[in-house]
Structure formats: C-alpha cells, structure tokens
A and B are shown apart, each in its own frame.
Chain A
Amino acid sequence: MADQSPNERALSRLEAPELMRSASRIAGLDLGKRPTFASAANISGVRTRTRTFSRRRDSLTIFARDEDYGYARKAGAWTGPNKDLVTRTRKILRAAKIPDAEIRRIRVISERGTVAERLKSGEVRVERPELLRKLARAERRAAGVPVWSSHGVVGLTEKGAVGFLEIHWPHLLPAVLDEAKVLAGVVKAGFAPEDVRGAELESVEAGVIHSPAIGFFMDVVPVIRCVYRATETRLGTKPALYFDRHGGRVTLPRSIEPAQAVEAGRAR
C-alpha cells in the first residue's frame, strides 16, 4: 500500500498471510484477498470494512469481530441452543491450539435487556426483559489450579458465524505452574493471610493471575488469592488480596504504565 513505510510493508509480507490463515482456521472469517494490515506495539492484525482479526505477538491473545454482529445489528446474535454454542466454542479453542486439558469448563452466559417509558404522569412502564444474546466463556485450569485472568469468549451471529471472539490464554512457564502447585499445598496446610481491618476472610485459593488482554505487558504471577467480606458495615465491593508463599503481597501484573499519582491535598 502506498502509505506504508518499508518496514510496515515488510511486516505485512511476513505476517499478513498467516493472520489471514488464522482468521479462517480459528474464526472462520473470510477476509478476502487483500485486507488491510497493521501492526503497532505488541499486536498485529488484518481487517476488511466489517471484519477484524488481530493477535498479540507476546501472548496467545486473539481478537476477532464482525461489526454487523450483535443485538439489533445486521447479522444479529445467537440465542439458540447452548449445546451448539459450546460445541462451536470447543472447535474454535482447539483451532487456536488451546489444550483440551486446560479448559476447566465452558459456561453459557446470557445477556438480557429491557426498556421502560417514563409517562407524563411520572409513572414508569417497564417492558418484559428479553434475551439479547448468548455467549460462551471458557475458563482455564492448569496444574490443578485456576488461571483467573485467562478466558476464551465466543459470540455467534444469529446464523452461527463468529461475530465476537476473544481468546486470552498466555503461555505459562513450568516454573509458574510448579510454584502454583506449591501454593496449593500451602493453602491445604492452612495458609493464614494478613488480617484486613473491618473484614473477615471469606475464601482462600491458590491460582495464577496474569496481565489482561488489552495492554502492553505480559506478566504472569502464581498467587494465593484471599477474598474478604465486610463485617461491620453493609459496604459493597470485597477486598481481594494476592499473596506469595511467604504471605507477602505480590507485585500485580501490568497492562499499561499507570498514570502518575496526583498530588494529595485538595483545598477545601
């Protein structure tokens, strides 16, 4: 393409064919003969006017979507049998080279919606909720522990084509899995985390967390996750803390360099 630099042209020659093959093999997306290629930071992709397929270069992370997919959009959204959606999701994950043994389960999640009119009398007339779409969400388990940050989400169009796909399933080094197993043993032996004032311990579990799907880092950390619930108040949102084998708080995986801290001391 005329507006591409020599470097971009080289990347396009190197990566575009494989991206197109992957789009077809994994998501069944036909991107024609000459989709637009782009690469920036840690991600590359190809797209047509309505279809996009991209993948991170530092992780097994894939995004695919059809702009016509969704409730009230041209291609619609799947509301059919769960079994068909789950079966299709398994095939997609297999095509993306996700090991069957790492798929803990595939759940079907329903998205519902409704509308209401505010009448001149001030009353509100609410319509019956309707099913907007179903999505399948795969959860990950490796070396016997959950990998909370990993997922595979599939949304199909009304006719069963892939409309939305997001797979975030980074490679886990053996050392990470070995440590996760040790942490599971520590939990089994009766791990006692730090107290959180105003809350009591609700659950303790060993697992793995990693950087989220959209971001510029790929950090992976085996952890013990402790969830607490408030004791003295009805305050919502539960603290969840992540510890290492010694009970120290771990450094959290990054997505982007956080914005700088603001200076405290707002004037009255």
Chain B
Amino acid sequence: MRFSTGGVATYVPKCGGPDLPFCITSTRGFAAFYLFAGHTAVTRWENGDVWGADFRDDGGDVDPSGGSDLPDIYFYNGHGICQNPPSATDPDFITVCGNFGTPNTVNIGNKSRWGNSPGKLKFLFVDASCPMDLVSLANNWFPVFAGLHMAVGHSGTASADTLNSPDRGPQFGARTAGLPGVLSWLFPQESVGDAWMDTGTIDIQSGCSAVALAAGRDRNDAIDRRENERITDGRSNPVPNWFAWKWRTE
C-alpha cells in the first residue's frame, strides 16, 4: 500500500499555539512500522510543509507534492478544533500551520472529499481532536466519502480531549500495517476499526472517544467493513449508501 503522513508540531508563533512536540515522533513512528511492513511512502511532510490545501478537494488534495487524496492511506497528527460541547451543526476541522497552501484550517464537511481522485485514498487516519464528533458525524463525515473506505478520529470537548501522544500513532500503525513474516501474527494485526478502538484510546482524557467510521453499499457491507476491514484486504471502493461506525469512550 502507498501511504503518506503529515505531522505538525510547530504552531508557535505563526499560528497561535500551543505546539505539539510529539506529532513528529508519532508520524515517524507510524511511518517506521509501515515501512517495516513493506509499504511505500508517498510523502512524509512535517510542520510547515503540511498545508491546509492538502486536505481540500479543490485540487490541493491531488497536489503531487503532498495531497492527501493521492496515497491509499493518509495519517495526520496535529491540531483540530474542539467545541465545548459540540452540536449537530458544528463543523469539524483539521488545523495545520503551513508555509503555503493557506488557509490553515480546513472545514472537513464543506471542503474535503476523499477517494474521488486518481490515487483514491482508501483510509484516512486523523489523530487530532476533535475532528470526528459523534453528534455531527452525518453532517461532517458522510459527505467526504467519495470512494474512501474508512476514517478514524476522536470525539470530545475541550475538557475531554486527546493528549499529544508519542505512542498512539505508532501503535496504531503497528496493529494495522501487517508486520512481515511471523511477526504478522506474533504481534496481532487487527482490522482498522479494532486497532483504533485499542489504540485511539491511548493517552486521552475521560469522556473522550475514539471513533471509527466505514462506508458500505448496504447495511451488512458497512458493518463488515467497520468490524473486519484491514488495510491489506484489497477490497473494492464502497458505494457510500450506508455508514457504520463505532466508538469507545475512556
């Protein structure tokens, strides 16, 4: 599989703050497990080289230098925006601090579509908060599935948030990549949904949830993908008639 990572640790002084120093540790650790498993990196940008445009469906997401819709898998670690508490009509955001490709804040539901480009993104892993609020999932996330198989993220508030973690991303990578040889079963490879339930809850505050969302052509297909789809399955792109999601709350 072809994967990209985007890790943003530096937000100060240009983009307010605070900085998130472990986002680079996290994306490099995620990449290390994927490279070890034999997957191919497309881009692995950090800090100002991750642009807001990379996540917008206006041509930026297919920019050969770093668009998020070009690889099969994209892992982002950085800031999002949290409402306190969110409502069904509140948007979800990814917030970077790019050298170019502004604006830095991306309204996911309005601006992003994945899986509709030549590279056809299949799996989107967003390790930020709070970009996948359960209350607004239908408004913000159903529209972005244009061939995308699954997305994972967090639902929370300013007081039930994720902590910047050096382990969450790499452990998720370790459980989804499919490690080589007998390591593929000695260390368990899990479905995307199960791996995120187990690792998305690392270093998060009480009340915050790890969320995994899958699309399917019908009810059973959506549930099957939510429960069982692995990145190495080679499944075809779903027609997003149905959505199935699950969450685990700390």
Contact = CB atoms under 8 A, between A and B. Distances in A.
A265 interface: yes
Given A213-B171, A235-B18, 6 more contacts: A116-B244, A198-B16, A228-B18, A258-B25, A264-B48, A266-B65
B99 A266 contact: yes
Contact of B25 (A40, A54, A232, A252): A252
Interface string A124-150: 101000001000000000000000110
Interface string B159-190: 00111111100110011000001110111100
Contacts of A228: 18
A230 B18 contact: yes
Contacts, number: 224
Contacts of A109: 201, 248-250
19 contacts: A43-B183, A63-B188, A109-B201, A115-B243, A118-B242, A197-B19, A198-B16, A198-B17, A199-B18, A215-B170, A234-B158, A236-B81, A236-B128, A237-B162, A237-B163, A238-B163, A256-B33, A257-B32, A258-B29
Contacts of B224: 72
B130 interface: yes
Chain B interface main SS type: mixed
A267 interface: yes
Interface of B: 11-13, 16-22, 25, 28-29, 31-33, 35-36, 41, 44-49, 51, 65-66, 78-84, 95, 99-100, 128-131, 138, 142, 154, 156, 158, 161-167, 170-171, 174-175, 181-183, 185-188, 194, 197-198, 201-203, 205, 219, 222-224, 226-227, 240-250
Given A45-B186, A237-B79, A237-B80, A256 B245 contact: no
A118 B243 contact: yes
Given A227-B163, A266-B66, A234 B242 contact: no
Given A115-B242, A239-B19, A234 B162 contact: no
B241 A233 contact: no
A267 B65 contact: yes
A40 B142 contact: no
Contact of B188 (A52, A71, A148, A240): A52
A247 B24 CA distance: 22
Given A111-B247, A113-B247, A214-B175, A41 B183 contact: yes
Given A38-B186, A153-B198, A214-B187, A236 B161 contact: yes
Interface of A: 38-41, 43-45, 47, 52, 54, 63, 65, 70-73, 109-118, 124, 126, 132, 148-149, 153, 166, 196-199, 212-215, 227-230, 232-241, 252, 255-262, 264-268
Q: Which of B186, B243, B249 has the most CB of A within 10 A?
A: B186
B222 to A, nearest CB: 6
B247 A264 contact: no
A238 B187 contact: no
B17 A111 contact: no
A195 to B, nearest CB: 10
Contacts of A110: 248-249
A4 B222 CA distance: 41
A38 B77 CA distance: 35
A39 B183 CA distance: 8
A235 B51 CA distance: 17
Contacts of B154: 236
Nearest to A199: B18
